Structure 1
Amino acid sequence: LDTTSTMQYPTIEEVPTPEAGRIEFSNVTFGFEGAELPVIKNLSFIAEAGKTTAIIGSTGSGKTTLLGLMLRLFDPQQGEITVDGQPVTRLTRRQLAHTLGLVPQRPYLFSGTIASNLRFGNPQASDDELWTALRVAQGEDFVQAKERQLDEPVSQGGTSVSGGQRQRLSIARALVARPRVYLFDDSFSALDVATDARLRAALPEATAGATTIIVAQRVSTITEADQILVLEDGELAGQGTHTELLGSNEVYQEIVRSQLTESEVG
């Protein structure tokens, strides 16, 4: 958080702030400085507005790097990334923050209260909006159990709550901000299977109209996605629904076989 960004952003708004949230990668290649091989290789795909796109692959396949490119934590050496047809390089930092909402794999909470953390991306949010987001994120019960509820103090880094509670507060914070694009980076990994299932059942209504992109390790998290991108060594090894990939894609089939029982495969 203390790192100074070297990225250059427009200082004035040159293009409209995206309203739909359609993400497109066109022949994108990216490699970290000093690396022998690129992490992402000539990747093209579209994440349609209002739909859920899931990204799955083995460790090191480039899943989290894709989200970093969308957020402009770094720019590709080749190709272009657009939101609603506008290159992300033409968006100001404010526009990017308004458009994209990230729930990281390792969530971070700030010193303050539960309420101040939830309002981080939307300072004007009402208490009712906070409780609604907590209900979707499966965090309502544990916050209600706190002595001061929304006004309960939170330590720097969120060390005063458990890992699963941090994750749920981070998800609720993104929901309160209401971005056009939700980026979930393996955000359900700290949740038990039952909580994960309840949260995923509640998410579609809460994020209706927005684009949802889910990086996942667990196949069970993404079987209902509108499309699944299968990454292998930074390349697109498959693209389709769970059913389509199950019938045609060897990489996806192997991931599924390693995780799901026969009855769960569907």
Structure 2
Amino acid sequence: MEPSAYRSLAFLFSLGTLPIACGPKGGGNTTDGTTDPTDGTTDPTGGTTDGTSTTTTTTTGEPTTGPTTGGGSETAGADPACAAYVAYYLKCNADTAGGLEAEAYAYCAMMRMRVGTIFGATCLAAQDALFECLGNSPCDQEGACEDEFSASAQCYPDAGELCVAFAAKQEECYGMPLPSYAAGMCQYYINARAYYDGPPCGSAVEEWYACLLDLPCPEFEMQTGCDELKAAFDLACDNP
């Protein structure tokens, strides 16, 4: 890969990780942390398609396989996707999952809320399709729901105008095409920061990115020239 390509991808993927666990039993939308499209090198699209593993974690170490705490919730009227998820979880963890049905439903509901809020309706539908496929699959079926895993793991939010422009600015300044998910990754980062650190954090990210867009390419690449907004971003997101 050309040095400019490395710089562009580094600019695309950055900033530490936030906990996000959206996939059951070794898959689903397991974006590797929350990466700010301003530097770093992590490609977030990697995922596993092993539907039979018993433990899977994101880069933050948060489990994505099922309930880990007590405090279950009502299961009556649960979403069909969660019913399928819980059936699969209980079936494939029969030795350890006894009595955890309510907790499994609560965990699934939490995952669906996160996906719907951060990734949007399209990705939630992909996640639900994965859950429903797993619910109809044997635990030991190699490659079960591979297409559904892939669709969920590679799903990103629909990008707003800011992130579309941000990806275009990157291409302009680095003189090369970016991955097709670049704008979606930008939107994912903004949505996730707002979800985890609060709306003021999400707004601060947007204001900083909007300022960066107006910079000449050398300053854009170095992230200089918007220092006050960067400081406001740090304050809003590190002290929600």
Q: TM-score, normalised on structure 1? A: 0.31
Q: Looking at both structures, which has the greater relative contact order when contacts are Cα pairs under 8 Å and sequence separation is at least 6?
A: 1
Q: TM-score, normalised on structure 2? A: 0.33
More helix by share: 2
More strand by share: 1
